[in-house]
């Protein structure tokens, strides 16, 4: 069982992948990945939106519940969607709390900034573990003008380092660093006791995270810092085309598919 405390003592690099449904969560969990992130990347990866901005608390809650039901050992982290945190104090707490109380998450992740130091402290004190997230924070795409690398000037790097320290101080149990120079990620990792988990942040973080559809080769437009470790899109296409051909040619259903037991209880 991965725990927020255990991560700190783990000697192997931390592995984290996103998941948005129970089947995928169970495959990732069985493979021994440490953390399942129910990312708001579900907006583009599962829900068909152009960005993460339209994703709702209900979307994340329902997907988190599915991922929690589909997994046993991995730590399940629910990603708080755009404007679900920081608008109003009690609403923030209630939204984050739902992910643990209703959906079965172990922790939440917040896209972090100066405004989330206090929130991180508050949630942590209430018993809601917080994973912080600095560097490229896609919910700010309208300010950033695109999904560009962050922390590239000295001032910006300083800001990220000081926010990283502030979030550790506020009680965050881990920090995602997205799309920042490798030397900055190394410096932040060095400065913190809590683990850093990088994406497009070089190899010196304590762990790595990628979006599952990029890893599987399911998405058609993976970012350049992601690597494709499989070709699931091609495998799906093959299976679906074979099914189509089988139905059209009359080879499916065959005799053996036409005399199944009445009860489907054994299926799962
Ligand atoms: O939503 C997401 O998938 C993320 C990861 C890229 C860290 O926030
Ligand atoms: Na996210």
Phi, psi torsion values for 56, nearest 5 degrees: -105, 165
| Single pTM value for the model | 0.95
Positive or negative, the Cα torsion across 101, 83, 35, 9? negative
| Whether the Cβ atoms of residue 7 and residue 192 lie closer than 8 Å to each other | no
The one catalytic residue in 45, 61, 168, 178 is: 178
Whether residue 27 lies inside any domain: the answer is yes
Is residue 1 in some structural domain? no
Output the six-digit token pair for 201: 């942040």
> From the CB of 59, is ligand 1 less than 6 Å away?
no
Residue 244 lies in a domain: no
Domain assignment present for 194 = yes
Q: What is the pLDDT of residue 266?
A: 63
Q: Is the distance from the beta carbon of residue 211 to the nearest atom of ligand 1 less than 6 Å?
A: yes
User: Coil, strand, or helix at residue 135?
Assistant: strand
**Which residues, at least 6 apart from 230, have a Cβ–Cβ distance to it below 8 Å?**
215, 216, 217
Counted domains in the chain? 1
Q: Residue 255 domain-assigned? A: no
Ligand 1 pocket test: pick from 45, 54, 209 the residue with the most ligand atoms within 8 Å of its Cβ. Answer: 209
Q: Where are the alpha helices (DSSP H) in 20-112?
A: 22-30, 42-45, 57-70, 89-101
Whole-number pLDDT of residue 268: 57
What separation in angstroms does the CA of 217 have from each of 117, 233, 252? 36, 6, 29
pLDDT value of position 185: 98
Catalytic residue status for 178: yes
Q: Is 222 exposed, middle or buried (0-12, 13-18, 19+ CB in 10 A)?
A: middle
Which domain CATH number covers 63? 3.20.20.60
Residue 256 included in any domain: no
How far is CA 14 from each of CA 47, 51, 233, rounded to the nearest angstrom? 27, 27, 27
d(Cα 29, Cα 75) in Å, to the nearest integer? 9
Hey, what are 214's tokens? Answer: 């990029």
pLDDT along the chain (268 residues), means of 10: 93 97 98 98 97 98 98 98 97 98 98 98 98 97 93 98 98 98 98 98 98 94 88 97 98 85 66
Could you tell me the residue range of the domain that residue 51 belongs to? 6-230
Q: Report yes or no on 264 lying in a domain.
A: no
pLDDT value, residue 259: 75
pLDDT reported for residue 211:
97
Q: How far apart are the first and last CA of the chain?
A: 24
ipTM over 0.85: yes
> How many angstroms does the Cα of residue 5 sit away from the middle of ligand 1?
21
- Which residues crowd ion ligand 2, with CB under 5 Å? 39-40, 79
With a 6 Å cutoff on the Cβ, whether 176 touches ligand 1 is yes
Supply the pLDDT for residue 219.
87
> How far, in Å, is the centroid of ligand 1 from the Cα of 252?
40
Query: 126 lies in a domain?
Result: yes
């Amino acid at each position: 069982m991965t725990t927020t405390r255990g991560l700190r003592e783990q000697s192997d690099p931390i592995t984290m992948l996103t998941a948005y449904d129970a089947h995928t969560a169970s495959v990732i969990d069985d493979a021994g990945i440490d953390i399942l992130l129910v990312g708001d990347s579900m907006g583009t990866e599962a829900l068909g939106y152009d960005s993460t901005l339209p994703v709702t608390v209900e979307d994340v809650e329902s997907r988190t519940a599915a991922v929690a039901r589909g997994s046993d050992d991995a730590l399940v982290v629910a990603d708080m969607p755009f404007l679900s945190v920081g608008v109003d104090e009690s609403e923030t707490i209630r939204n984050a709390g739902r992910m643990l109380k209703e959906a079965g998450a172990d922790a939440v992740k917040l896209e972090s900034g100066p405004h989330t130091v206090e929130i991180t402290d508050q949630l942590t004190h209430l018993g809601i573990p917080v994973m912080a997230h600095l560097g490229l924070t896609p919910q700010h795409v309208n300010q950033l003008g695109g999904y560009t690398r962050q922390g590239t000037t000295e001032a910006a790097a300083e800001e990220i380092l000081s926010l990283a320290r502030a979030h550790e101080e506020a009680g965050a149990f881990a920090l995602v660093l997205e799309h920042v120079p490798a030397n900055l990620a190394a410096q932040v990792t060095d400065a913190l006791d809590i683990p850093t988990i990088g994406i497009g942040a070089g190899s010196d973080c304590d762990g790595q995270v990628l979006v599952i559809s990029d890893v599987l080769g399911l998405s058609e437009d993976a970012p350049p810092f992601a690597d494709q470790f499989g070709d699931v899109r091609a495998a799906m296409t093959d299976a679906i085309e074979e099914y189509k051909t089988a139905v059209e040619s009359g080879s499916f259903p065959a005799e053996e598919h036409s005399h199944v037991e009445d009860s489907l209880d054994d299926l799962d």
